[in-house]
Amino acid sequence: MTNHWIDIKNSNAVLVMGSNPASNHPVSFKWIEKARENGGKLISVDPRFTQTSSRSDIYAPLRFGTDVAFLGGMIKYILDNDLYFKQYVRDYTNATFIVGEDYAFNDGVFSGFKKRTDDSHYGGKYDKDLWQFELDADGVPKRDMSMQHPRCVFNLLKKHYQGYTLEKVSQTTGTPVKDLRTVYENFASTGKADRAGTIMYAMGWTQHSTGVQNIRAMAMIQLLLGNIGVAGGGVNALRGESNVQGSTDHCLLWHILPGYLKTPRASQSTLDEYNKAYTPVSNDPKSANWWNNYPKYSVSLLKSMYPDVDKDKAYKWLPKVDDGRTYSWLEMFDYMHEGQFKGFFAWGQNPCCSSANASKAREALSKLDWMVNVNLFDNETGSFWKGPDMDPSKIKTEVFFLPCSAFLEKEGSITNSGRWMQWRYQGPKPYATTKSDGHIICELMSRLRWLYRNKDGKFPEPVLNLGYHLWQDSHGYNAQKIAKLINGFFLKDTEVNGKKFKKGQQVPSFAYLTDDGATCSGNWLYCNSYTDQGNMAARRNKKQTKMQANIGLYPNWSWCWPVNRRILYNRASVDMQGQPWNPKYPVIRWTGEKWVGDVPDGGWAPGSKHPFIMRKHGFGQIFGPGRADGPFPVHYEARETPVKENFFSKKLRNPVAMWFKDEEFAVADPKYPYVCSTYRVSVHWQTGLMTRHMDWLLEAQPQMFVEISKELAGQLNVASGDKVTVESIRGSVWAVAVVTERLRPLKVMDKEVHQVGLPWHYGWQFPRDGSGGDSANLLTPSVGDPNTGIPETKTFMVNVRKA
């Protein structure tokens, strides 16, 4: 989130789309209710009428996977009706930038498109050099402050969304025109200086082949309306796991290193080459261009791993990825399916139920030599060879199960959706012989080091020189020591920015990290979280100033990154004189001498730096030249779709999305006529691995079900409570029909389209009698977003029939 949970209460319009907070983040609903008490409106846009919809002021239905069309219509509405925040757009976004002549959008593709010719996992690729801005002699983007130039971003934006009329959007999304108008009018009313609108989204937006463009479209809307950096505004992802924000910050994904640094490529053979490639340079004195500090963060990370090794040598020991390749989840399972992996750690996950195209994942495991499953309970992955459609006699995989502790039994932090790092102390000691993940890692590492040392391990230096002693004390893994290492400390006496530090002192904030090897930090974003004053994440103090209390900032409760700044980009919440746009809910304010309120996004005087300090040029990106599938979102149909036509693009579907060449998809296929999606319920969580073992939770939601409309139930002759079969090209599951008013067929391009949905919380392994059902992911496709590889599990085509 750019903002945080409590801040929702400050909003005049809470748009909930691609998520269902009442069901899946019930505690957050408290803050939504507070927003409504203060006169704010809750707007629920969802294919189903959900628990959130039941509490909303405005509800509008839409077809799964058509969010870009819906949002594109909102952009057009905002522009046509002059509802954007003019000063903000002109001064804080790249609306005034002039795009080069090579940029174009024709026939459904942007300029620079090349179709796939080889074994690439993507349908095509763009040459993004064709989308760059016109620069002046200093390399600073040219700006047309009058926004009249035909190629200024503002006019290109207008042109791009010209076709997203209410009628065309309605025919695509199935949302009645009057509902579109109501939603647009209400949300766009937050374009005024003293009004703010927020968006709460989750996997209903991200898990699509256009997932990133869904988020982009909303970010653009929020920039147009002046809603970034202000209280009650922002772009707010509801994370689906209590610490997944922590896991993304510490960069478990293949393409990033802790603190969102980049994983090095094979061609970047030296530290200097690597740093140069990723350190942006700006000649605009008003652009803070904060990523120009990149080398300080990368070197400090290297020193946290290898405190006693020269930084350049340590860099050479980092694993590299091949140039031009990606290694995301779907690709990994594709390789595994081809027998390309010897071993696999399924650590704290259940891919046999969570992976899109789950049967492909299940088969893939059978090609491994060995697998280690670390989890609380046995599950569909740990016992994959016993699953349905598996013949154990043909499977050679040796499986190890390491039972681990639950969250209550461990000390450590979790970072919530609002970036708040909250320390947790150990509750009960780990049950029986279970161990915490940290202990398991340290013991594994200890054994590996012994083997490398004593059994002639090849290239032992990167393993043996790790600063392993910093992770533990005499009892083993120590979370507090790790937290201190993540913050970072001085490896020698030194002076930074005129301040003297001694070896061993914690680094007070990332402003004091250096690129010469004097500092170590396991994650620059978390530098400031564990200082010489102590563990900031463990603070539970409700003290705040009146200005902070007014917006529910709670700056002394836990700690958030970066440097405890609770609302990101807050320099955009004030005018060039440092005075808040909204006097009712100010975030920061310049007193004439200093900033008060939240931690300002850089302490510089007002008007001296552009507010979006993490972007090279310093402006909010309405035109986004860095995305793999284009600088403006385009409505593309999902890989599997009920329609053959697309009003907004000559290309029906995302031409550069990830999909595997030999796999089939249902497009306007009469065998699979219904649009399907997956979602969650309050009483189960993720694949249900933990919750299916909780008696009272299984009691409350015992079985796989599919929600279908009364109209469809009538056509299929299915009554509520009947078992049905739901099948896609990839697989089928049984489910109990929940026939409901809350789903209605939609009119899409003059055709009646039915939608159905299932939860993905069940698996064959437990309950042992199989009464729970199996994973909805047996139906979903291995199709991915081109920027992230995230699987398209939220829109696919199925058939439903009586069992």
Partner 1 sequence: MKSFFIDLSRCIGCRGCQVACKQWHKLPAEKTANWGSYQNPRDLSFNTYKLVRFEDQVVNGKVEWLFFPEQCRHCIDAPCKMVGDMYDDKAILRDESTGAIIYTQRTKNLPFEEIKGACPYNIPRLNPKTKVISKCDMCLDRVENGMLPACVKTCPTGAMNFGEREDMLKLADTRLKEVKAEYPQAGLVDKDFVKVIYLSRFEPKLYYEFMYAENRPRNLMNRQQMLARMFRPFKEVIDSA
Among 49, 401, 468, 557, which residue sits at the site for partner 1 (rule: CB under 8 A)?
Answer: 49
Which of 689/735 has CB closer to partner 1?
Answer: 735
In the complex, minimum distance from the CB of residue 698 to partner 1, in angstroms, rounded to a whole number: 7
Total residues contacting partner 1 by CB under 8 A comes to 41
Question: Is residue 768 part of the contact set for partner 1 (CB under 8 A)?
Answer: no
Among 479, 739, 758, 778, which residue sits at the site for partner 1 (rule: CB under 8 A)?
Answer: 739
- The closest of 43, 513, 21, 93 to 300, measured between CA atoms, is 513
d(CA 66, CA 43): 17
Among 324, 388, 392, 721, which residue sits at the site for partner 1 (rule: CB under 8 A)?
Answer: 721
Sort strands 705-709 and 732-740 into parallel, antiparallel or unpaired. Answer: parallel
d(CA 346, CA 352): 10
Which of 154/766 has CB closer to partner 1?
Answer: 766
Question: Is residue 705 part of the contact set for partner 1 (CB under 8 A)?
Answer: yes
Which of 586/773 has CB closer to partner 1?
Answer: 773
Among 33, 378, 409, 461, which residue sits at the site for partner 1 (rule: CB under 8 A)?
Answer: 33
In the complex, minimum distance from the CB of residue 772 to partner 1, in angstroms, rounded to a whole number: 10
Question: Is residue 29 part of the contact set for partner 1 (CB under 8 A)?
Answer: yes
Q: Where are the beta strands (DSSP E) in 548-643?
A: 559-560, 588-590, 595-597
Question: Is residue 737 part of the contact set for partner 1 (CB under 8 A)?
Answer: yes
Which residues in the 642-681 window bind partner 1 by CB under 8 A? 681
Question: Is residue 698 part of the contact set for partner 1 (CB under 8 A)?
Answer: yes
Question: Is residue 738 part of the contact set for partner 1 (CB under 8 A)?
Answer: yes
Question: Is residue 702 part of the contact set for partner 1 (CB under 8 A)?
Answer: yes
In the complex, minimum distance from the CB of residue 776 to partner 1, in angstroms, rounded to a whole number: 14
Which of 34/449 has CB closer to partner 1?
Answer: 34
- Yes or no: say if 1 and 236 are a contact pair by the CB < 8 Å rule: yes
Stretch that binds partner 1, among 6-14, 259-267, 477-485, 737-745 (CB under 8 A): 737-745
Residue 791 CB partners (closer than 8 Å, separation 6+): 207, 329, 330, 355, 356, 357, 780, 781, 782, 783, 784
Whether omega for the bond prior to residue 562 falls within 30 degrees of 0, making it cis, is yes
Which of 55/313 has CB closer to partner 1?
Answer: 55
Determine the Cα angle at 702 with ends 697 and 704, to 5°. 125
Among 53, 514, 646, 678, which residue sits at the site for partner 1 (rule: CB under 8 A)?
Answer: 53
d(CA 247, CA 251): 6
In the complex, minimum distance from the CB of residue 461 to partner 1, in angstroms, rounded to a whole number: 52
Whether omega for the bond prior to residue 767 falls within 30 degrees of 0, making it cis, is yes
Which of 422/514 has CB closer to partner 1?
Answer: 422
Stretch that binds partner 1, among 260-268, 451-459, 553-561, 693-701 (CB under 8 A): 693-701
Helix orientation angle between 166-173 and 177-188, rounded to the nearest 10 degrees: 110
- The closest of 51, 104, 10 to 547, measured between CA atoms, is 10
Stretch that binds partner 1, among 50-58, 616-624, 627-635, 795-803 (CB under 8 A): 50-58
Cα-based distances in Å from 219 to 191, 345, 480: 14, 36, 37
Q: Where are the beta strands (DSSP E) in 458-612?
A: 472-473, 476-477, 489-490, 494-496, 499-501, 519-520, 530-531, 534-535, 559-560, 588-590, 595-597
Among 720, 752, 801, 803, which residue sits at the site for partner 1 (rule: CB under 8 A)?
Answer: 720
Ramachandran sector of residue 270 (left: φ over 0; alpha: ψ -120 to 50; beta: rest): beta
Question: Is residue 695 part of the contact set for partner 1 (CB under 8 A)?
Answer: yes
In the complex, minimum distance from the CB of residue 248 to partner 1, in angstroms, rounded to a whole number: 25
Ramachandran sector of residue 412 (left: φ over 0; alpha: ψ -120 to 50; beta: rest): left
In the complex, minimum distance from the CB of residue 59 to partner 1, in angstroms, rounded to a whole number: 8
Which of 37/391 has CB closer to partner 1?
Answer: 37
d(CA 243, CA 253): 14
Question: Is residue 696 part of the contact set for partner 1 (CB under 8 A)?
Answer: yes
Give the containing element (helix H, strand E) for 126: strand 124-126
In the complex, minimum distance from the CB of residue 758 to partner 1, in angstroms, rounded to a whole number: 12
Which of 465/740 has CB closer to partner 1?
Answer: 740
In the complex, minimum distance from the CB of residue 23 to partner 1, in angstroms, rounded to a whole number: 7
User: Following CA atoms 542, 546, 550, 553 in sequence, which dihedral angle do they give, to the nearest 10 degrees?
Assistant: -40
Question: Is residue 183 part of the contact set for partner 1 (CB under 8 A)?
Answer: no
Question: Is residue 736 part of the contact set for partner 1 (CB under 8 A)?
Answer: yes
Which residues in the 548-607 window bind partner 1 by CB under 8 A? none
Which of 259/773 has CB closer to partner 1?
Answer: 773
- Yes or no: say if 102 and 130 are a contact pair by the CB < 8 Å rule: yes
Cα-based distances in Å from 555 to 8, 539, 548: 16, 10, 8
In the complex, minimum distance from the CB of residue 711 to partner 1, in angstroms, rounded to a whole number: 13
Which of 112/702 has CB closer to partner 1?
Answer: 702
d(CA 78, CA 347): 46
First-to-last alpha carbon distance for the chain, in angstroms, is: 43
Residue 600 CB partners (closer than 8 Å, separation 6+): 565, 570, 571, 588
In the complex, minimum distance from the CB of residue 715 to partner 1, in angstroms, rounded to a whole number: 17
Which of 271/704 has CB closer to partner 1?
Answer: 704
Which of 443/722 has CB closer to partner 1?
Answer: 722
Among 51, 175, 214, 236, which residue sits at the site for partner 1 (rule: CB under 8 A)?
Answer: 51
In the complex, minimum distance from the CB of residue 28 to partner 1, in angstroms, rounded to a whole number: 8
Binding map of partner 1 across residues 771-790, x = CB under 8 A, - = no contact:
x-------------------
Which pair of structure tokens corresponds to residue 624? Answer: 């986004």
Cα-based distances in Å from 224 to 188, 594, 630, 688: 9, 28, 19, 40
- Yes or no: say if 728 and 652 are a contact pair by the CB < 8 Å rule: no
DSSP 310-354: -HHHHHHHS--B-TT----HHHHHHHHHTT--SEEEEES--HHHH
In the complex, minimum distance from the CB of residue 194 to partner 1, in angstroms, rounded to a whole number: 24
Which of 643/716 has CB closer to partner 1?
Answer: 716
In the complex, minimum distance from the CB of residue 769 to partner 1, in angstroms, rounded to a whole number: 10
Residues that bind partner 1 (CB under 8 A): 22-23, 26-27, 29-30, 33, 49-55, 59, 681-683, 695-705, 719-722, 736-742, 771
